[in-house]
A and B are shown apart, each in its own frame.
Chain A
Amino acid sequence: MSEQVTVTINGKEVKVSEGTLIIQAAKMAGIDIPHLCYCECLPSTGSCRVCLVEVEGAKGLVASCTRKVKNGMVINTNTEKVREARRFVLELILSNHSGDCMSCDKNGACELQKYAYELGIEKTSFSMKDPGYEIDKSNPFIERNYNLCILCGRCVGICKTQGADIIDFIKRGMITKVATPLDKPLQESGCDFCGSCLAVCPVGALLEVDRRFRGREWEMEETKTVCSYCGCGCDLVFGIVDGQIMRTTGESPGDFLCAKGRFGWDFVENPKRIIKPLIKKDGILTESTYEEAIKFAAERLLDIKKAHGANSIGGFIGAGNTNEVAYLFQKFLRAGIGTNNIDSSARLLGFPALIDLYEALGDGAVVSMEDIEEVDTLLLVNADVTVAYPRVGVAVKRALSSGAKLVVVDAGRTKISEKADIYIQSKAGSDEFILSGLLKELLDGKVYDEEFAKKCGKFEDLKKSLGKLKMEMVEKESGISKDVLKRAAKLYGEGKKTVIVFGAETVSPQTMELIANISLLTGKTRASVLPCLLSSNLRGTVYMGALAEFYPGVRKIDEARNDFEKTWGVKLPKKAGLSIKEMLDGMGSSILGMYIVGADPVTQFPNSSSVAKSLSSLDFLVAQDTFLTETAKLADVVLPGITLAESNGTIVNMEYRTKEVRAVIEPLAETDWKTVTALSKRMNYTMGYSSEKEIAKEIKSLVFVPKKIERDTYSFILVEPKVSGEEPDKKYPYTLIVGETTFGFYDGIRTKNSKLSRLEPNAGDYVIFNSEDATSLKIEDGCEVTVKSRRGKVTTSAKILDFLPKGMFFMPSCHDKRGILASDSIDSKLKSPQHRLIAVSISKGGANK
């Protein structure tokens, strides 16, 4: 800890640590020094000069946001001289500020207004000069009115570290203006719409479009909750006026949120939401009452159970529900209906990687975002962090800005790969070769932690198997030269504090095992990794036992059945449960009834035409969801679901933090937990909870509070590298990669029902060609193309962008038809399909030609 010093501020003595800024020291003493350019989350620029103070003995006034305290300093923050100086600066600003507080949404929260009032400025003594800029209203999220801009530079600073680094000061005559290169609109300048600039702007120059004229600062009711898009689980504060969502912010202005977290909530209030239950009558879904729908669904499911046994029923739940709902859901199926046929979309989104990781390293190896900011070397494997898991992207960028080194392994030329020291643009599906090659180079180059590695099991076997690995084969399969891998291994191996960040849903189980091996081999940091999760509660869903093979607490069915029979007080089914793929295969014969909550397998699961066929062959399908998804359209009963913005409960984010979710508005429909209990009760299994809190209590009492499990013995896993994903052949010579985009999210159901879709080109209906393939296939930007796989074909439009290497194409995961193309063949161990790499053929023109 640094030395404590004593300073006197306005006659008050305070002890602060050496090196503290005067403005900070004053804050600790309870004194607010007016400031405009300074923001705690940013490096000081000292440009506005509003924070000037008098320091005894110093020549002239001193900017308190740049000057550090010294022992014995005597500071006066509010003398007449200081006030005069502040008044001068504010009057200058005001003479250039053509705003009207009357109609400005910042009124009441505006820092300029606040200080002008405090200093008693009625009117500027300078003559008014209207900057005369046109207000930019061209994007759906941020209204930019530079007539109100006070040139504090906060937005410029934060865009550098959290955004896309696209805005800066440009000279406009004698006066400066904030602008993108060439002063183009944000949406044409590569803006990520993280809204960080908006969050730090002290005045009304940058405002949420949605908020204009819908409620003032003091009318806003704020509720803290967690973002339910990606697995980063950022904290959100919703501002609500009259029960409607006005805006979303982080807890403090400098907290990062991505476009989805900050602007993607209008889907919650979208009129297309399902509010009333629907029952299919003569093939048409018709509105009914809640009572009637529950009764009907329960009776039909009971009939099926009676006639064909409990195991003819299955359940599927999305990995974006609260722990409480996931827990209830599996309890209802196991204890209420009596089957282990339970699965969740976690199966598609990285659950296998998590289980593998858990077995190889224990959860203790998982680091937090803060940890990432402090490492000196990062290895990113298939993780388009700034796009798919944006908060991780910011952590990585922050680490880089404090000097960390970066190795990126990714087929796609992602934004973060541009910042890499070594970028390994692998061939899609060749990760296992690349990582095996890296392992070998780490060993051969002797840049590993021998002491630690020796303590791990199978080290000798690993050495032997890597000894046999031919680098020529690695080069051939991955297209990456040995030298590059050698350099990457050296860079990574020499790091003192390292982390491997990877996209859990993009890696194969074997890739995951190789990642574990690398972290064991460089074990000095005790193997630190961050599996990036796409879904907000993937960990929680797995932990709550919403999977065939595990009870809550990731306890194996056979081992824990007795315990759960005791706690739940019922006989539990012995028969192993089926995974979603197995259920789909059995539909129409062994599986006759399904209950699906908050998930849309028709869109999400690969080979969607066959999924739709399977679901249609069921005797009875109940779907519970917020929108009428493709799956819900096939249901016999549709029960309304709610979004996380209307739910209370908890989720577990990718860092393994349990976070509290709070309803920010009154739920538009019955809550999910109540619907599950109502259905259960009607099926003669009463669960009798009175609130989400009680469910949480039960979970807690079973000691299933998710926590990291530390391990003390480790073992390497021997992996024979293979090409992952579907292999191309003569008929389907190309590889299609399905991945995330900045303004789309997973199956797109939320982003498409939000204004976010306005920023996704063609609402996600496109496929990316690199220019080489485009030339050889004679494709122009925007022209119609047909993508064909072994399962089916999709007509879409071409977008030319050098993102992937030759022979590889990219399709956004929010493309509604990508499921038609993907392969649903599953691996035998964890029963999850490698659906993100698809062998395809591509031709010009529509499908009907």
Chain B
Amino acid sequence: MSSEGCSVLITLEFFKGFAKDKMCGKCLPCMLGTTRIIDVLERITKSEGEERDMVVLEKTSSNIIDTARCKLGKDAANFLQDSLTSSRDEYEEHIKDGHCSHNSCELLINYWIDPEKCVMCDACKKVCPEDAIVGEKLVPYLSDNNPYYVRDKKCTKCGQCLTVCEVGAIEIV
């Protein structure tokens, strides 16, 4: 696993930048291939990746290296190839487990409330704009013990709960 951040996201940003600034659009494999790579990487970061995507990425990049007209296109494809080789497990983790271990791919991360730390103050539930947090404020002797947790489906990963929790019970996983 690379240390600077999520490899998938880094590669995606790299290609977006390439397509915007460097790519001249003068040869088809690079122009069309790059947009395809961007599509696939985008899907992967949104946890919509499919198993065959790895093959598509590998083939597309190696084919661009063979067919592109100039070094720019070939270098871009090489970047992807290097990333695929050095961080293969990261890509697979995204695709198979829907998980980003760098917690960078917004749609792949989850918010989790640690019941050990949570003091059941209700601050996060109040601030959550999506009504994604369930639980009941602890009122001694009156309330049941309804611990707090985040409903992943509703949560949009806005991060507001994180900022209000005074005991640091909310974590990104």
Binding site for B on A (CB under 8 A): 45-49, 52, 60-61, 63, 81, 84-85, 88-89, 92-93, 95-96, 125-127, 129, 150-151, 169, 171, 174-176
- CB atoms of A85 and B36 under 8 A apart: no
Given known A47-B69, A49-B69, contact A174–B28 (CB-CB < 8 A): no
Given known A126-B56, A127-B39, A175-B35, contact A88–B67 (CB-CB < 8 A): yes
* Contact of B98 with A by CB under 8 A: no
- CB atoms of B66 and A61 under 8 A apart: yes
* Contact of B34 with A by CB under 8 A: yes
Query: What chain A residues lie within 8 Å of B67 (beta carbons)?
Result: 49, 52, 61, 85, 88-89
* Contact of B78 with A by CB under 8 A: no
- CB atoms of A85 and B66 under 8 A apart: yes
Query: What chain A residues lie within 8 Å of B20 (beta carbons)?
Result: 174
Query: What chain A residues lie within 8 Å of B28 (beta carbons)?
Result: 47-49, 89, 92-93, 150-151
Which of B23, B38, B60 has the most A CB atoms < 10 Å from its CB?
B60
Query: What chain B residues lie within 8 Å of A129 (beta carbons)?
Result: 39
Query: What chain B residues lie within 8 Å of A125 (beta carbons)?
Result: 56
Query: What chain A residues lie within 8 Å of B29 (beta carbons)?
Result: 49, 88-89, 92
Give B97 Cβ to nearest chain A Cβ, in Å.
23
* Contact of B134 with A by CB under 8 A: no
- CB atoms of A92 and B66 under 8 A apart: no
Given known A47-B27, A174-B19, contact A63–B69 (CB-CB < 8 A): yes
Given known A49-B27, A174-B35, contact A88–B59 (CB-CB < 8 A): yes
Q: Give the tally of cross-chain contacts (CB within 8 A).
A: 71
Closest to B68 in A: A49
Measured in the bound complex, the distance between the Cα atoms of B56 and A127 in whole Å is 10
Measured in the bound complex, the distance between the Cα atoms of B69 and A176 in whole Å is 16
Of the A-B pairs whose beta carbons lie under 8 Å apart in the complex, a sample of 18, sorted by A's number, is A46-B69, A47-B28, A47-B69, A49-B27, A49-B67, A52-B67, A60-B65, A61-B67, A63-B69, A88-B29, A88-B66, A93-B28, A95-B32, A151-B28, A169-B25, A171-B25, A174-B23, A175-B31
Give A34 Cβ to nearest chain B Cβ, in Å.
13
Measured in the bound complex, the distance between the Cα atoms of B23 and A176 in whole Å is 11
Given known A126-B56, A169-B25, contact A176–B66 (CB-CB < 8 A): no
18 extra interface residue pairs, beta carbon distance < 8 Å, beyond A47-B26, A95-B36, A174-B19: A48-B27, A48-B28, A49-B27, A49-B29, A49-B67, A49-B68, A52-B66, A81-B66, A85-B63, A88-B29, A89-B28, A92-B32, A93-B32, A125-B56, A150-B28, A151-B31, A174-B23, A175-B31
- CB atoms of B26 and A174 under 8 A apart: no
Measured in the bound complex, the distance between the Cα atoms of B23 and A61 in whole Å is 20
Measured in the bound complex, the distance between the Cα atoms of B25 and A169 in whole Å is 9
Measured in the bound complex, the distance between the Cα atoms of B59 and A508 in whole Å is 71
Measured in the bound complex, the distance between the Cα atoms of B66 and A211 in whole Å is 40
Measured in the bound complex, the distance between the Cα atoms of B171 and A605 in whole Å is 94
Give B23 Cβ to nearest chain A Cβ, in Å.
8
Measured in the bound complex, the distance between the Cα atoms of B28 and A169 in whole Å is 13
Query: What chain A residues lie within 8 Å of B38 (beta carbons)?
Result: 174
Closest to A37 in B: B28
Q: From A45, A61, A92, give the contact of B36 (CB < 8 A).
A: A92
Closest to A96 in B: B32
* Contact of B49 with A by CB under 8 A: no
Query: What chain A residues lie within 8 Å of B35 (beta carbons)?
Result: 174-175
Measured in the bound complex, the distance between the Cα atoms of B33 and A95 in whole Å is 10
Query: Top 3 A-B pairs ranked by shortest CB distance?
Result: A88-B63, A92-B32, A49-B67
Give B108 Cβ to nearest chain A Cβ, in Å.
21
Give B139 Cβ to nearest chain A Cβ, in Å.
54
Query: What chain B residues lie within 8 Å of A60 (beta carbons)?
Result: 65-66
- CB atoms of A84 and B63 under 8 A apart: yes
Interface string of B60-104 (1 = CB under 8 A from A): 100101111100000000000000000000000000000000000
Give A768 Cβ to nearest chain B Cβ, in Å.
40
Query: What chain B residues lie within 8 Å of A93 (beta carbons)?
Result: 28, 32
Closest to A152 in B: B28
Query: What chain B residues lie within 8 Å of A48 (beta carbons)?
Result: 27-28
- CB atoms of B33 and A176 under 8 A apart: no
Query: What chain B residues lie within 8 Å of A52 (beta carbons)?
Result: 66-67
Closest to A46 in B: B69
Query: What chain B residues lie within 8 Å of A126 (beta carbons)?
Result: 36, 56
Give B15 Cβ to nearest chain A Cβ, in Å.
10
Measured in the bound complex, the distance between the Cα atoms of B65 and A510 in whole Å is 67
Query: What chain A residues lie within 8 Å of B60 (beta carbons)?
Result: 88
Measured in the bound complex, the distance between the Cα atoms of B26 and A169 in whole Å is 9
Query: What chain A residues lie within 8 Å of B32 (beta carbons)?
Result: 92-93, 95-96, 175
Give B42 Cβ to nearest chain A Cβ, in Å.
12
Measured in the bound complex, the distance between the Cα atoms of B60 and A125 in whole Å is 11
Give A82 Cβ to nearest chain B Cβ, in Å.
9
